[in-house]
Chains A and B, each alone.
Chain A
Amino acid sequence: MTQPNVAIAVQEPAEHPLPRSGRRRRLRSVSGRRRPAFLRYWPQYLAISPFYILFAVFGLFPVLFSLYLSFHRWSGVGERKFVGLQQYKFLFKDHTFYLSLWNTVLIWAMSTVPMLFASLVLAALLHSVARAKGFYRMAFFIPNVTSVVAMAILFTMLFSSNFGLINVVLHWIHLPTYPWTNRPWGIRISIVALMTWQWVGYNAIIYLAGLQTIPQHLYEAAHLDGAGPIRTFFSITVPLLRPVILFTVVISTITGLQSFTEAQVMTGSNAAVNPNSGGPGQAGLTMVLYFYQQAFSYNDFGYGAAIAWGIFLIVSVFTLINWRLVARKED
């Protein structure tokens, strides 16, 4: 947090640094034999060991093994064949992977940018009201609690071409209807709508918690200086909220670029051949959906592993760029 740091540095007088080490030496000589430090702490190591053991088996080993797999051709049965960098070379030229990257970035940008802005506005409003804060918070959070699968099914029906409510409303207000779920842009917009709806309240609540840490006297000072609400918002609220904004941007980047369930469920119901191909024009094929399709529809584990590493690198680069963009203005 970049809150004004008012903590008074309490410095302990550095007196008598010697007795401690002296006592320790004496203790050791009493015990007779030198006991390695880590043996004395065996209950502590035992207490934290489940995480590291499970991680070694289901985390570290798999990550290393997927790197190993990405240099091989393997369908899960039979011989693994070492192919060197061939999978990555193929990935580099794979038009479908680039399409999935393009889809993912489009869907992520179209949902994240307006969503974070709307969240900020909602949070500012929420901060300003005196009553019913708890109710609003709960109501805004409910979309985030419900399962993505269920809501993806519901949104598919809302956007359905022949009976969806969206088209009915468009018809009522004399606007042209659009076959959302049968067109590339339509399917992308449906996914964007679902992701925005599920996450706008979550981010608003995070922003609200950030707003509540901004000291009230700053606003009073701004008011005395004659700053209007818009000016106050951009000169006080946004700068002081920057660490929280950074948090939401990073989380949205990491989760948004790895979206899978929304696309898989919303495009799965009307693709006749393979339900994991991403819908009309493959416009709903996100990177992780493409990974899933290659690895688990086609059992191409080697290429799947290469895609997973590709996604990891892309997400890391995007996260770093966004981090820089938001954090840079801090100084």
Chain B
Amino acid sequence: MLNRLRRAQLLPHIVLGIGVLVSIFPFYWSIVLATNTSRDVFRYPPRLVPGTHLAENVRHVLDSIDFFGSMLNTLIVAICTTTLVLFFDSLAAFTFAKYRFPGRSFLFGLLLVIFMLPAQLSIIPQYLIMVKIGWVGTLQALVVPAAVNAFGIFWMRQYITRAFPDELLDAARMDGAGFLRTYASVCLPMIRPGLAFLGIYTFINAWNDYIWPLVVLTNPDKITLQVALAQLNLGHGAAQTDYAMLMAGTLMAVTPLLIVFVLFARNFVADLAKGAVQG
């Protein structure tokens, strides 16, 4: 019986294992390229194992772009955006989930319509606004428009409706807690897992955002990691691209986020899928 069960499971595990290899292999390959010399990249047959030239390639990256400066910019943007989104989205979601007020369903419906609007419709005017208020080339041009979003409010409202029983709201009211007090000391502690999900989701998106930073960060000294990486790829018009250096830069840009994901995202993937199925 046990043997038969094992045999029946073998084939799925083989196919899934191949899937995992395909998912992971590009990362392995970027490690191989980033740790060998630029000349090794062109060698035939190619080297299939990591080499010893990582430090040298990393140094070339640091010579070509302000890597740590752009990483710091990205960190600032991602942390500020995530903090603001968590506060504004959860506050609005709590209100929509637990209070009835005139215009509530209209306003929530409006939010869903807004959710559907594609980004490129507003990019040009957004850029013009940033020009007008002098925010072109600054980091607040990335943070402020992203400080609250429809997806987060929608997702959080679903979450709070499920996780936060109405009796608690009544109990808080009985104790004389006002609206803000109820949000801060009753709602927030209860929805911590939901906040963790939304936080990771927002952080990853802010970290990886590309088209808007590309448009608005016109000052080459103040760019985010993704824009810096794309610049590295263009090679500043250099005759010969240093591919090992380029891969080292790519690897350096990807690794921190991967570590964050693997460490903190225990339930993240399942939560994301659940939201999609129930939403």
Using a CB–CB distance below 8 Å, which chain A residues touch chain B? 1, 37-38, 41, 43-45, 47-48, 50-52, 54-55, 57-59, 61-63, 65-66, 69, 76, 121-122, 125-126, 128-132, 136-143, 145-151, 153-158, 162-163, 165, 168, 197, 201, 205-206, 208-210, 213, 244, 247, 254, 258, 260-261, 264-265, 268-269, 275, 288, 291-292, 295-296, 301, 304-305, 308-309, 311-312, 315
Contacts and interface: CB of A to CB of B under 8 A. Distances in A.
B99 A44 contact: yes
Interface of B: 9, 12-13, 15-16, 19-20, 22-24, 26-27, 29-30, 33, 41-42, 44-46, 88-89, 91-92, 94-96, 99, 101-103, 107, 110-111, 114, 117-129, 131, 144-145, 147-150, 153, 178-180, 183, 204, 207-208, 210-211, 215, 225-226, 229-230, 233-235, 241, 243, 246-247, 250, 253-254, 257-258, 261-262, 265, 269-270, 272-274, 276-278
A54 B95 contact: no
7 contacts: A44-B179, A132-B13, A138-B269, A143-B26, A145-B204, A154-B30, A301-B128
A153 B210 contact: no
A308 B258 contact: no
A50 B124 contact: no
A228 to B, nearest CB: 14
Most chain B CB neighbours (cut-off 10 Å) among A61, A138, A268, A301: A138
Contacts, number: 252
Contact of B12 (A129, A149, A197, A258): A129
B196 to A, nearest CB: 15
Nearest to B260: A145
Contacts of B258: 142, 145-146
B26 A197 contact: yes
Secondary structure call for the B interface = helix
A51 B148 contact: yes
A148 B101 contact: no
A146 B257 contact: yes
A143 B23 contact: yes
Given A44-B179, A51-B111, A305-B124, A147 B257 contact: yes
B125 A265 contact: no
Given A125-B16, A162-B42, 14 more contacts: A38-B101, A44-B179, A48-B91, A50-B147, A59-B114, A62-B125, A63-B117, A69-B125, A129-B12, A147-B254, A150-B254, A163-B243, A210-B277, A261-B210
A52 B110 CA distance: 9
B263 to A, nearest CB: 11
B121 A309 contact: yes
Contacts of B261: 142, 145
A206 B278 CA distance: 11
A251 to B, nearest CB: 8
Contacts of B234: 268-269, 275
Contact of B250 (A76, A150, A312): A150
A43 B253 CA distance: 42
A208 to B, nearest CB: 7
B129 A58 contact: yes
Given A213-B277, A265-B230, A268-B234, A66 B125 contact: yes
Contacts of A268: 230, 233-234
B92 A50 contact: yes
Given A66-B124, A163-B42, A205 B257 contact: no
A137 B233 CA distance: 31
A163 B41 contact: yes
Contact of B129 (A57, A296, A308): A57
Contacts of B129: 57-58, 61-62
B19 A122 contact: yes
Most chain A CB neighbours (cut-off 10 Å) among B27, B114, B118, B183: B118
A91 to B, nearest CB: 14
Contact of B269 (A205, A260, A292): A205
A149 B230 contact: yes
A34 B127 CA distance: 45
A61 B125 contact: yes
Contacts of B19: 122, 136, 139-140, 201
Contacts of B29: 154, 158, 165
Nearest to A208: B273
A138 B102 CA distance: 43
Contacts of A149: 208, 210, 226, 229-230, 233, 253
